[in-house]
């Protein structure tokens, strides 16, 4: 596997743990956008996915937290 896939694999459990707060955060940020909910969902879902993995990857770089996530 490539470097990106290896990093995503390492961050997968952390992304799973963080997905709910990230989805809620992104949805709250999108609440003021004047679009239909169905259209917002098309943006909120991928943004939440990427946000969860990015946050989890960042946490895997922190020595004390790396053992947990």
pLDDT along the chain (69 residues), means of 10: 84 93 96 94 96 94 82
Query: CA-CA distances (angstroms) from residue 59 to 6, 8, 30, 37?
Result: 15, 12, 25, 31
Q: Which two tokens stand for residue 3?
A: 């470097």
- Please give the pLDDT value at position 10: 85
Which pTM value belongs to this model?
0.83
pLDDT score, position 7:
84
- Cβ atoms of 22 and 56 within 8 Å: the answer is no
pLDDT for res 1 = 66
Residues 6 or more apart whose CB falls under 8 angstroms from that of 25 comprise 51
Q: What does the pLDDT read at residue 64?
A: 84
């Amino acid at each position: 596997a490539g470097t990106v896939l290896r990093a995503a694999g390492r961050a997968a459990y952390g992304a799973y743990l963080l997905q709910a707060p990230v989805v809620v955060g992104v949805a709250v940020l999108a609440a003021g956008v004047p679009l239909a909910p169905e259209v917002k969902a098309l943006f909120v879902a991928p943004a939440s996915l990427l946000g969860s993995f990015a946050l989890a990857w960042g946490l895997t770089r922190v020595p004390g937290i790396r053992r947990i996530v």
